[in-house]
Amino acid sequence: MTKNKKREDLIARAERLQTAIATLNSTIQQIRTTGDIAPPKCYVLRYQAKGKDKTYYYYKLHASLPIFTTNTGTKSKYKHLGKAGTVAHVNAVMDVARRSQIDSLQRAVDSLTESWQDLNKMLENLTI
- Please report, for the chain, how many H helices and E strands are present, in that order: 2, 5
Q: What is the residue range of 41's domain? A: 3-127
Structural domain count of the chain: 1
pLDDT digits (tens, 9 = 90+) for 19-69: 999 999 999 999 999 999 999 999 999 999 998 889 999 999 999 999 999
Q: What pLDDT is recorded for position 23?
A: 98
Question: 108, 105, 95: which is closest to 62 by C-alpha?
Answer: 95
Residue 128 pLDDT grade (very low, low, confident, very high; cuts 50, 70, 90): low
Predicted TM-score (pTM) of this structure: 0.86
